[in-house]
Amino acid sequence: MSGHDHGDDGVNRRKVLECMTWAGTGVLWTITGGVPRSLGIVDSVQAAEAPGMTFLQISDSHVGFDKPANPNALGTLEEAVNKINAMPAKPSFMIHTGDITHLSKAAEFDNAERIISQTKLDVHYVPGEHDFLDEEVKFYRDRYGRGTKGQGWYSFDAGGVHFIGLVNVVDLKAGGLGNLGAEQLAWLEDDLRGKSKSTPVVLFAHIPLWTVYPQWGWGTEDGARALEYVKGFGSVTVLNGHIHQVMQKVEGNVTFHTARSTAFPQPAPGAAPSPGPMKVEDAKLRSMLGVASINFKQGNQPLAIIDTPLQG
């Protein structure tokens, strides 16, 4: 890495903008000087040997979904959990980027909990719009809202990394996208105040914080405000769900990444009349569902995200 002389974060600020989509087996990406570099196809054994802290991202379980795109969303969540349990090295914890359930029914939350708890990992949740559908909007909050602020946002530290869980599925405006709101943005600014700029930051929320495809509502109205607050930090990773496919973009010091669903795939932006569940051949379904494993190595800050489908 050359030409990095900006402060103590060791990151080349050369502006890089790339947008990629993959389907298929796991690809290990490492970020050096803000440039993503593929290390090729890897399996979970190699992933486990990567040094540093590893955590998992799981997303869009849609427990209760039973339509043709996947008649058994609970079953594929269980397959994902089995895959996690079979990992040779235990990750530090897991984040779930929302849409745990399909219709926010108590039984759906209970079933999701019954399966996900089999990982015996700490799980940090943020809600998707499918988790706030019950009349009183209390099932999610009763289970996962304790100790959170506002509609359920919070932060925590692990392995020297500052994690921030945001809620962008509430109070959506007609014609608009995902929404963080003034109260949450003020909290975020305050949460980051005084943090060393060399602290790696991970922002996670359900709907992408970057504009993926506004025609389908895939973006967050005031996401750019949140990104302003993390601008000075040397390493920022933004992890989202909602779009049920892997997408990555690197912009300067910020890496954006979306995870696969464990329930059903959705079409690539504009590739279908709507973003609704995509029915694929039964044999292909499991190659389009999966989990992501994220590895942080302290020091020169390479970052690796490995997306592992349920079936290669």
Binding positions for other proteins, rule: CB under 8 A: 67-69, 102-104, 129-130, 133, 135, 172-177, 214-217, 273-277
Measured in degrees and rounded to the nearest 5, phi and psi for residue 178 equal -60, 160
Q: Quick check: helix, strand or coil at residue 33? A: coil
Type of residue found at 50: A
Measured from the CB of residue 174, what is the shortest distance to other proteins in angstroms?
A: 4
The burial of 30, by beta-carbon neighbours within 10 Å (0-12 exposed, 13-18 middle, 19 or more buried), is given as: middle
**CB of 5 or CB of 135, closer to other proteins:** 135
* Distance, CA of 96 to CA of 92 (rounded, Å): 14
Question: In whole angstroms, how close is the CB of 273 to other proteins at the nearest point?
Answer: 4
Q: List the beta bridge partners of residue 96.
A: 58, 125
Nearer residue to other proteins within complex by CB, 22 or 216? 216
CB of 150 to other proteins, least distance (A): 18
Task: Closer to other proteins by CB, 8 or 135: give it.
Answer: 135
Judged by beta carbon, residue 234 or residue 277, the one nearer other proteins is 277
How large is the greatest C-alpha to C-alpha distance in the chain, in angstroms? Answer: 56
The sign of the dihedral angle between the CA atoms of 41, 44, 47, 49 is: negative
Nearer to other proteins, 132 or 163 (CB): 132
Pick from 290, 270, 301: nearest CA to 22: 290
- The Cα 308–Cα 145 span in angstroms is 29
Which residue number, 177 or 239, has a Cβ lying nearer to other proteins? 177
Q: How far is the CB of 204 from other proteins (least distance, A)?
A: 20
CB of 134 to other proteins, least distance (A): 9
Q: How far is the CB of 39 from other proteins (least distance, A)?
A: 36
Residue 304 · residue 30 · CB < 8 Å = yes
Across 266-285, b (16+ Cβ under 10 Å) vs e yields bbebeeeeebebbeeeeeeb
The DSSP bridge partners found for residue 291 are 308
Q: How far is the CB of 217 from other proteins (least distance, A)?
A: 4
CB nearer to other proteins: give 23 or 133. Answer: 133
